[in-house]
Amino acid sequence: MLYSDKVMDHFEHPRNVGEIENADGVGQVGNPKCGDIMKMYLKIDGDVITDVKFKTFGCGSAIATSSMATEMIKGKTIGEAMNLTNAAVAEALDGLPAYKMHCSVLAEEAIKAALADYYQKKGEPVPDSLRLPCEEGEHCCASCG
């Protein structure tokens, strides 16, 4: 099998699928050309992420990493979510094939984009650590060039 049991579990039974109405932060990354788009919705109370939902267009690992990433930040502080790395998401899934690692990058970036949106909505400056490598506008997933 291409994927670990954990990836398959999160792919077949994804957690936190859906949308949040009046979300405090929404972020979308990816590009239809690359075949992967992730959209993350955050509900934030004070400093805590009280709810998170996602929608993903993409392959098995894209759906599984979205699901795992939402589990890893739910109930956590903004600071903790900001520090979530793609390597940590991939590790929590017991690894991904090398050419699927860009999917875990997308999950990290979707969270960062949603947090950046949260700061923008509040009219506060966006912390530098939330800036995406590909800058604003339509995001390009790193591996798709």
Partner 1 sequence: MPEKFIYVDHAATTAVTNTALTAMLPHFTQAYGNPSSLYRFAQEGKTHLEQARAQVAACLNAKPEEIYFTSGGTEADNWALRGVAELMALKGKKTGHIITSAIEHHAVLHTAQYLEKQGYEVTYLPVDGDGLVDPAAVEAAIRPDTILISIMAANNEIGTVEPIAEIGAIAKAHKVLFHTDAVQAVGHIPVDVEAWNVDLLSLSGHKFGGPKGIGALYMKKPLRLPALIQGGGQEKGRRSGTENVPGAVGMAAALKEAVDKLPQEAARLSALRDKLMAGLTALPYARSTGHPDKRLPGTASFVFEGVEGEALLLHLDAKGICASSGSACSSASLDPSHVLLAIGLPHAIAHGSLRLSLGPDNTEEEVDYILKEVPAVVAYLREMSPVWDQETQKPTWEL
| Catalytic residue positions, numbered | 34, 103
Query: What is the 3-class SS of 66-99, one letter each residue?
Result: HHHHHHHHCCCEHHHHHCCCHHHHHHHCCCCCHH
For residue 79, the minimal CB distance to partner 1 (Å) is 27
If one asks whether residue 33 binds partner 1 (CB under 8 A), the answer comes out as: yes
Site for partner 1 in 66-105 (CB under 8 A): 99-100, 102
Q: Which C-beta is closer to partner 1: that of 24 or that of 36? A: 36
Rounded distance, CA 26 to CA 112, Å? 10
Residues that bind partner 1 (CB under 8 A): 8, 11-12, 14, 17-18, 28, 32-39, 55-63, 99-100, 102, 143-144
